[in-house]
Amino acid sequence: MRLSLLSAILFLTLFSFGQMTPTYNDILIPMRDGQNLEADVFIPAGVDSAEVILIQTPYNKDLFSWSLPMGVGMNLDSQPFIWVIADWRGFYGSASAAVAQPNRGEDGYDICEWITDQVWHKDRIGTWGPSALGGVQYNLAREDHPNHTCAVPIVAHAQQSYDSYFYGGVLEKARLEQLDALGYGLSPLILGNVYYSSLWQFSENSTWFAPDLKIPTLQIGGWYDHNIDKMMDVYAASRTDADPSVVNEQWLLVGPWVHGGTGIAQVGSSIQGELSYPNAALKNDTMAWDFLNYYLLDAPNDWNNTDLITYYEMGSNQWASSNATSIASSTSDVLYLNANNELISGTSIGSSTFVSDPSNPSPTIGGATLHPALDQGPYDQINLASRNDIVTFSTAPLTQDVSISGRVLVDVFVEADQSDCDISVRMVDVYPDGRNMLINDGIARMRFRNGYEQTDEAFMSPGNVYERQIVLPFTHYTWNAGHEIKVYIGGNNAIRYDVNLQNGGTMYAAGDTNIANITIHHNAQYPSKITLPGANSFLSINELASEHLSVYPNPANDLLHLESDISFNTVSIINPEGRLVKQFDSNFSHLNVSDLDPGVYLLIASDGNQKRNARFVKY
């Protein structure tokens, strides 16, 4: 099998100059069906016996000879574990053992049996790995091997569900193509089952592993990973449905990380897309070491007193923790789409129309992607705003921080002149310097507004208005004061998602493309809205800053003059990062800004009840 792109990226992200020789290279581990899986074993110098970390990979075990994970690199002797790295059945060194329907849980169990028979093994086995290397750990956990002590699945959940491939009924095309390129060959099966059915129900039930957990886990995810939404459900279920003996030993770590595998960003790196999170770097490795040392070596590191959920608050860019089953907010705030591209808390008016042309779809720019042609993570979406297939809605600059935790719901009332179309949503943070940084996105197919079974399929008729909800993936985010909440709404998001031909015909088949004129209604009869999971009661019409303030000269160097329709008594200046840098506590008509660094600033004037704002440039 050829070296996959993901394998190459794994090599680059783990890269160290030189190469280790495994203590046992290409060793054959017997399976119960008479086949053999190939593995490498790395034993630190001078170690006669030790606990084992097992990694099962479809991406070529030989790459680990260049660098072991969790920061070990080439320094095998600097850590206490023996490492066993095995190729999956049907992949690389284990290619000859391929079968039509492999049971990877049983294969993992047989590897554990072989490990326990080796003179160099003590008695415990921990497992580690991201993506597919993480998902397979759940398969093994179900088999309940007596020596499988703990697991660290990363950006993985293992459930094979309909919505893992069809988000809102729309095929996540780019990810499926990448999975095919990596050797999984799933396209015939997935594209042969584009409606929800008993087959999908069986698949989902048989790959739901939370009730099978009888060992402690440290589940590691990333807010910019395509698996995060399902991971949050799996984790919550593990806190209630795992074996009672370990139900309170299920940990979750979520950082500001991408999935990895197709670019320089990875779980634990500080750079993610066009943003950087230095205080999140290598948190995954630090916690994984503490977890594994505690459960495999009985290390007195106080791990058992670690809060069960550790999560990164994006926007405020700090770590937080909780012992709750879920960090989803139990309350919510509603903002309505309005005329003039506004998001407001009161009654809305009007409608907004855009064009969706399948031959010229709006491009994917970053996000929770998995494809070598796509960037991963937070990227500026500002170039999309000039397209005629996108409409945007945003608040005015916020006067206070707005925090959410959970899934944002976008409810829209749609009218179109074609029988089918998609509604895509991208949620962004508008920085004071003008950047529109992506937080996450979602999409929904209109023909599936009643459900995803074939009998639910319903097409649209011109002149009629239909309601559709788009659910964005679980996230935890804070818009800082001075920033704006904004959504981009369009008809597609390519190449990440399949482009709807809008002809009402068979999906995922060649056919004519129809241009659709799509209208989003937002008025008293059709109140299109977004629901934010949080407790931000100040989000009201009077609390959102409005554009009734003039400042000049702009750009300014020393003095800034103000004109407003209110007599204000407080003036605040917010920097490009959304932080208060200067405040005046009287009704000045001119302000001295000479001490400010060059840049774009937000100025907010208030009389105690009303607020006005304007942007200005300091040079």
CATH superfamily of 549-618: Immunoglobulins (2.60.40.10)
Residue 81 near residue 54 (C-beta atoms within 8 A): no
Answer yes or no: pTM beyond 0.95.
no
In the chain, % of residues over pLDDT 70? 94
Residues 387-400 have a mean pLDDT of 95
Question: Per-residue pLDDT tens for 246-278?
Answer: 999 999 999 999 999 999 999 999 999 999 999
Q: How confident is the model at residue 577 (pLDDT cuts 50, 70, 90)?
A: low
CATH topology of 1-152 equal to that of 211-327?
A: yes
DSSP-derived letter for residue 68 is: B
DSSP-derived letter for residue 233 is: H
366/262: higher pLDDT:
366
Pick the CATH number of 1-152 from 3.40.50.1820, 1.10.3720.10, 3.30.420.40, 3.40.50.720: 3.40.50.1820
Residue 175 near residue 320 (C-beta atoms within 8 A): no
Task: Give the β-pairing of 332-338 and 436-445.
Answer: unpaired
599: left (phi over 0), alpha (psi -120 to 50) or beta: left
Q: Domain coordinates of the chain in residue numbers?
A: 1-152, 211-327, 332-533, 549-618
Fold of 332-533: Jelly Rolls (2.60.120)
Radius of gyration of the chain (CA): 27
Bridge-partner residues for 363, per DSSP?
494
Quote the pLDDT of residue 617.
Answer: 82
Question: Per-residue pLDDT tens for 44-62?
Answer: 999 999 999 999 999 999 9
Residue 587 near residue 567 (C-beta atoms within 8 A): yes
Task: Give the β-pairing of 342-344 and 332-338.
Answer: antiparallel
Quote the pLDDT of residue 493.
Answer: 98
CATH superfamily of 211-327: Alpha/Beta hydrolase fold, catalytic domain (3.40.50.1820)
Bridge-partner residues for 602, per DSSP?
574, 615
Kindly provide the b/e burial profile for residues 14-32, where b requires at least 16 CB atoms within 10 angstroms of the residue's own CB. Answer: beeeeebebbeeebebebe
Average pLDDT, the chain: 93
In the chain, % of residues over pLDDT 90? 82
Q: Which two tokens stand for residue 53?
A: 């970390």
Rounded-to-integer distance, Cα 419 and Cα 416, Å: 7
Question: Per-residue pLDDT tens for 594-617?
Answer: 999 988 787 878 777 667 777 788
Quote the pLDDT of residue 609.
Answer: 67
H or E element, residue 525: none
Q: How confident is the model at residue 590 (pLDDT cuts 50, 70, 90)?
A: confident
543/86: higher pLDDT:
86
Residue 213 near residue 239 (C-beta atoms within 8 A): no
Least confident of 109-123, 380-394, 578-592: 578-592
Residues 471-479 have a mean pLDDT of 98
